[in-house]
Chains A and B, each alone.
Chain A
């Protein structure tokens, strides 16, 4: 049973991540806002307790690994890392600036706490399988978390990796699919429908769960459940809202990469601050 305090802490972390992500992308004036905001609650759950890590020792051998295969969600993860002390929060405003350690897409060689370089969709799936396999080979019990986009699973490489992960019984590999229903060119169902994702993974030999990806309690419970499951890798299909937390973006169809004006940023931050204030008072 998850304590109310834990849930509240994670919700607060999620709001902070949204605010910092809005600031970083808003400061630049453009960025991959939609997919960063849709996965934020899961990132908050991971960095808010589900995942083992040490901000003072990012390479800690016993840490759990996170491979964000939809590498464009980097800004949300950078916010979580900064808020948890991997690097100063002020550094978030260097996003995509010349010489930054915080590029658009995740880079293991630049950012403290980023375990894998991603950006070309589909590749993170195989990388995560390799990481999970390496841990298993050495008899370590580190978990490997993989985040896939819903549009991303149109890539054939994902299904190569999914097939092989089941073959190797990688029960310490937990995969999230951010099912926000949209990809760059529009609705996934109109472009190349990914349909019933959970059933597809189950057909490939995985343990599947399907939850509200904006509901922190459901996310935490699903992760706990996945950890208990033996002999099969686990998928958690997250029904999410692309652009979640910034009303304007939520309503836009083409919100994969957006321009953000100063006013829009300020407006969004005002709403998020009010929400945060209400939550803290609860």
Chain B
């Protein structure tokens, strides 16, 4: 792992879906076993270019997610490396038994891509807004869950999965991300990244909330609070050592995620903390609610995924620490 923070955290010019497509084209050029599957969302996912390059390795099954997951698992049994995409809720909630048994229990080799995480589903509204996708998938033994924060991390992680075996769930923002890492940064699956050192409290953040966590940390620093910021991009297996170290060294933790606070980052971190180094903890995330329709900024306010709320939770956790 060799990471360098971006000099300026700006919205990337290239959308994450285009980076996903380009990286798969690149991988497919060197590996004839790579295949892509979708359930009638190839256009939304920007995978038409892949289909033009590799029509015989593109399988759009139509609107049938359960079948797509099973077909992907079957393909992998013959040596193929399938990348199967749908929107997050349909790639997980709708076909959980297929993920669990046809992929996980059968020990097959499948990459599932669930796009439009949490509030980024915006105008598609509550039916399409997964606050539960990672929480569902986390129940599958040995599964690897990744939530890349920007295009540099996405590219590196996708490439790494080529030579790994197992079931992977990649939670993918389709739109442009805020650049967090400098080009060329590399990552280790299962290891978190300390983005900023600090000694009073640790913010553990993933996905689109990493930028907000950094902003909150910067704001708190002006008030004399020293805030550590960690990016956990592998929800499972989670980086236990890093979390224990943060608990030990900063004595307080706040998790920040674009997901229900139940079953994903907040829960996973809490499990590690209570079993190893109990310290006060707070969770920023969706407080056990269904999604709803609206612009992303409105939804972030609506569900408390804001810099202000992170600051509030940090103050609360610090008051408990005393």
Which residues of A line the B interface, CB within 8 A? 67, 108-109, 115-117, 119-120, 122-123, 125-135, 137-138, 156-157, 160-161, 163-164, 167
In the complex, are the beta carbons of A116 and B106 less than 8 A apart? yes
Within 97-116 of B, Cβ neighbours of A (below 8 Å) are at: 97-98, 101-102, 105-107
B78 adjacent to chain A (CB < 8 Å): yes
In the complex, are the beta carbons of B67 and A161 less than 8 A apart? yes
Q: List 13 A-B contacts (CB under 8 A).
A: A116-B74, A126-B69, A126-B74, A127-B70, A130-B70, A130-B71, A130-B75, A130-B77, A134-B75, A134-B78, A134-B80, A135-B78, A156-B66
Shortest Cβ gap from A33 to chain B (Å): 24
In the complex, are the beta carbons of A123 and B98 less than 8 A apart? yes
- Classify the interface of chain A: helix, strand, loop or mixed: helix
In the complex, are the beta carbons of A128 and B64 less than 8 A apart? no
In the complex, are the beta carbons of A123 and B70 less than 8 A apart? yes
In the complex, are the beta carbons of B106 and A130 less than 8 A apart? no
In the complex, are the beta carbons of B67 and A117 less than 8 A apart? no
**Which residues of chain A come closer than 8 Å to B105, judged between CB atoms?**
117
**Which residues of chain A come closer than 8 Å to B295, judged between CB atoms?**
none
Residue in A108, A115, A126, A132 whose beta carbon sits within 8 Å of that of B67 in the complex: A126
Give the B interface residue count (CB, 8 A). 29
In the complex, are the beta carbons of B101 and A134 less than 8 A apart? no
Give B37's nearest chain A residue, CB to CB. Answer: A130
In the complex, are the beta carbons of A126 and B66 less than 8 A apart? yes
**Which residues of chain B come closer than 8 Å to A137, judged between CB atoms?**
35, 56-57, 75, 80
**Which residues of chain A come closer than 8 Å to B101, judged between CB atoms?**
117, 119-120, 123
In the complex, are the beta carbons of A133 and B75 less than 8 A apart? yes
Q: How many Cβ-Cβ contacts under 8 Å join chain A to chain B?
A: 100
Give B97's nearest chain A residue, CB to CB. Answer: A120
Shortest Cβ gap from B39 to chain A (Å): 10
In the complex, are the beta carbons of B75 and A123 less than 8 A apart? no
**Which residues of chain A come closer than 8 Å to B76, judged between CB atoms?**
130
Shortest Cβ gap from B69 to chain A (Å): 7
**Considering the chains assembled together, what is the distance between the CA atoms of A119 and B102 in angstroms?**
10
- Classify the interface of chain B: helix, strand, loop or mixed: helix
**Considering the chains assembled together, what is the distance between the CA atoms of A157 and B56 in angstroms?**
24
B20 adjacent to chain A (CB < 8 Å): no
**Which residues of chain A come closer than 8 Å to B72, judged between CB atoms?**
130
**Which residues of chain B come closer than 8 Å to A119, judged between CB atoms?**
101
A108-B77, A134-B78 are known contacts. Are A126 and B71 too (CB-CB below 8 A)? yes
B169 adjacent to chain A (CB < 8 Å): no
**Considering the chains assembled together, what is the distance between the CA atoms of A123 and B104 in angstroms?**
13
Shortest Cβ gap from B114 to chain A (Å): 18
**Which residues of chain A come closer than 8 Å to B71, judged between CB atoms?**
126-127, 129-130, 133, 161, 164
B307 adjacent to chain A (CB < 8 Å): no
**Considering the chains assembled together, what is the distance between the CA atoms of A161 and B71 in angstroms?**
8
**Which residues of chain B come closer than 8 Å to A116, judged between CB atoms?**
74, 77, 106
A109-B107, A157-B66 are known contacts. Are A123 and B102 too (CB-CB below 8 A)? yes
Residue in B79, B106, B107 whose beta carbon sits within 8 Å of that of A134 in the complex: B79
Given contacts A130-B70, A134-B74, A138-B78, 17 further A-B contacts (CB under 8 A): A116-B74, A117-B102, A119-B101, A123-B98, A126-B66, A126-B67, A126-B70, A126-B73, A127-B102, A129-B70, A130-B74, A130-B75, A156-B66, A157-B66, A157-B67, A160-B66, A164-B67
**Which residues of chain B come closer than 8 Å to A117, judged between CB atoms?**
101-102, 105-107
Shortest Cβ gap from A101 to chain B (Å): 15
Residue in B67, B70, B74, B106 whose beta carbon sits within 8 Å of that of A109 in the complex: B106
In the complex, are the beta carbons of A131 and B74 less than 8 A apart? yes
Shortest Cβ gap from A137 to chain B (Å): 7
A120-B97, A160-B66, A164-B67 are known contacts. Are A126 and B78 too (CB-CB below 8 A)? no
Shortest Cβ gap from B68 to chain A (Å): 8
In the complex, are the beta carbons of B35 and A127 less than 8 A apart? no
**Considering the chains assembled together, what is the distance between the CA atoms of A156 and B72 in angstroms?**
18
Give A108's nearest chain B residue, CB to CB. Answer: B106
**Which residues of chain A come closer than 8 Å to B74, judged between CB atoms?**
67, 116, 126-134
In the complex, are the beta carbons of A130 and B73 less than 8 A apart? yes
The 7 closest A-B CB pairs, nearest first, are A130-B74, A126-B70, A134-B78, A160-B67, A117-B106, A160-B64, A130-B71
